[in-house]
């Protein structure tokens, strides 16, 4: 007996299942496979780095897939494409001997229009080419810390409006802080410490509603402290030339402040009683200023301070001069713990408190 062929509807259904199975199989085979054009760009970037990196450093490209190379991370976009999202080339001794090579390198990087994270820290970059500011606008995190960047902070950084993390610390940047940085309305972390910045802090910068962590220590900034961002949690203004009395902190600063370092400046006057109103304050460093007075028990009891550093509220005699600034005191010969050390202690205390809380009945 001859069997009947399947009905038209049944045939279409099985054809659909076959097509669906083929698509699923194809997607499984090509899963995690980088687009050809992006793979070519990544290979070109690695080729350029090899030309200008330290001969004592190496890059891991032992496998065929560029997404598995050292410093490269890929992921799926909202439309299901597998794309390059992160590039991290820290501490490779990258140094360009001409501006053309530098511009070409950044052009290659910015041609990855899916890039969210770029880390070129701890190299020998001396400048940022203009092409970067117009082509890398998708970036969420930019780390150019500990390079040899000099000159003024480029105001064109304000074009990178998606930035939430900007690290320019540990360079040779000079001049004033450009007020245009306040256009980065998504910025959470701004690290400009360890440069040669002068002038005052732009009020537009510190009033940014998104800012959590502002690091301006180890510069040559001066003037008064402007009002701070409402969400600010960490403020480091240490080792600068700020002077005058410490402002009424409860009026100037976010009530959510947890860490404040105003050490090694020229602040004078007495301890502001308004410190007691910062209920979340955990670490306060006022050492090496020209302050007088002391904390009273009621102030300390009103918030949960872990560390109050007021050692040497009076500065020793000044022995060095900057020329354009009042004489700056020499740093003490006895090593004093840095903010990083106190932060480490604070984090250990937080961890211990959490452990104790989780084990208590």
Give the pLDDT score at 30: 39
Measured between alpha carbons, how far is 53 from 165 in angstroms, rounded to an integer?
Answer: 25
Measured between alpha carbons, how far is 160 from 148 in angstroms, rounded to an integer?
Answer: 21
83: which 2 tokens? 């794309």
Give the pLDDT score at 205: 85
Q: If DSSP codes are grouped into helix, strand and coil, which group holds residue 268?
A: strand
CA dihedral 292, 297, 301, 305 (to 10 degrees): 40
Contact 212, 164 (CB under 8 A): no
Q: Residue 142's CB: how many other CB atoms inside 10 A?
A: 23
86: enclosing H helix or E strand: strand 82-88
Give mean pLDDT in consecutive 10-residue pieces for the chain, a chain of 361 residues: 48 47 39 82 97 95 93 87 95 96 97 96 97 95 98 96 98 97 95 98 85 96 84 92 80 75 90 71 86 63 56 53 44 42 54 52 45
Handedness of CA 84, 89, 90, 95 (dihedral sign): negative
Per residue in 46-81, pLDDT tens?
Answer: 999 999 999 999 999 999 999 999 999 999 877 778
Give the pLDDT score at 315: 57
Give the pLDDT score at 229: 77
Q: Which of 41, 128, 50 is nearest to 92 (CA)?
A: 50
Contact 120, 146 (CB under 8 A): no
Buried b (16+ CB within 10 A) or exposed e, 327-337: ebbeeeeeeee
Q: What are the helix (H) ranges across the chain?
A: 8-29, 36-52, 99-110, 130-135, 203-206, 249-252, 297-301, 339-359
What DSSP line would sit under 112-164, residue for residue? -TT--EEE--SS------HHHHHH-TT-SEEE--SS--EEEPPGGGGG-TT-S
Interstrand relation of 241-245 and 266-270 (parallel, antiparallel or unpaired): parallel
Measured between alpha carbons, how far is 19 from 17 in angstroms, rounded to an integer?
Answer: 5
Measured between alpha carbons, how far is 75 from 66 in angstroms, rounded to an integer?
Answer: 12
Say what the pTM is. Answer: 0.80
299: which 2 tokens? 């102030």
Give the pLDDT score at 221: 98
Give the pLDDT score at 35: 86
89: which 2 tokens? 């080339």
307: which 2 tokens? 């560390």
Count of residues for the chain?
361
Give the pLDDT score at 349: 52
Measured between alpha carbons, how far is 205 from 184 in angstroms, rounded to an integer?
Answer: 9
């Amino acid at each position: 007996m001859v069997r009947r062929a399947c009905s038209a509807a049944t045939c279409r259904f099985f054809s659909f299942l076959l097509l669906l199975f083929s698509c699923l199989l194809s997607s499984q085979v090509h899963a995690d496979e980088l687009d050809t054009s992006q793979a070519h760009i990544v290979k070109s970037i690695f080729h350029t780095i090899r030309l200008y990196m330290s001969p004592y450093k190496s890059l891991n490209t032992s496998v065929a897939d560029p997404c598995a190379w050292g410093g490269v991370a890929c992921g799926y976009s909202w439309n299901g494409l597998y794309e390059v999202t992160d590039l991290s080339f820290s501490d490779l001794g990258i140094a360009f001997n001409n501006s053309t090579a530098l511009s070409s390198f950044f052009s290659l990087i910015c041609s990855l229009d899916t890039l969210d994270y770029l880390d070129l820290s701890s190299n020998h970059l001396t400048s940022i080419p203009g092409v970067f500011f117009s082509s890398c606008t998708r970036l969420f995190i930019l780390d150019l810390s500990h390079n040899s960047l000099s000159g003024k902070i480029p105001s064109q950084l304000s074009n990178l409006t998606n930035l939430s993390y900007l690290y320019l610390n540990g360079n040779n940047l000079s001049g004033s802080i450009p007020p245009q940085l306040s256009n980065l309305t998504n910025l959470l972390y701004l690290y400009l410490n360890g440069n040669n910045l002068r002038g005052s802090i732009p009020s537009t910068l510190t009033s940014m509603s998104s800012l959590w962590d502002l690091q301006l220590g180890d510069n040559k900034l001066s003037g008064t402290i402007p009002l701070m961002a409402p969400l600010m949690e960490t403020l480091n203004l240490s080792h600068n030339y700020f002077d005058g009395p410490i402002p009424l902190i409860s009026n100037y600063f976010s009530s959510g402040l947890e860490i404040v370092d105003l050490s090694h400046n020229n602040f004078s006057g007495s301890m502001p009683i308004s410190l007691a109103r910062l209920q979340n304050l955990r670490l306060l460093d006022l050492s090496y200023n020209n302050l007088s007075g002391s904390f009273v028990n009621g102030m300390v009891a009103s918030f949960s301070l872990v560390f109050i550093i007021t050692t040497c509220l009076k500065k020793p005699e000044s022995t060095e001069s900057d020329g354009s600034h009042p004489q700056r005191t020499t740093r003490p010969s006895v090593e004093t713990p840095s903010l990083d050390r106190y932060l480490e202690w604070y984090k250990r205390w937080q961890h211990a408190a959490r452990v104790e809380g989780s084990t208590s009945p």
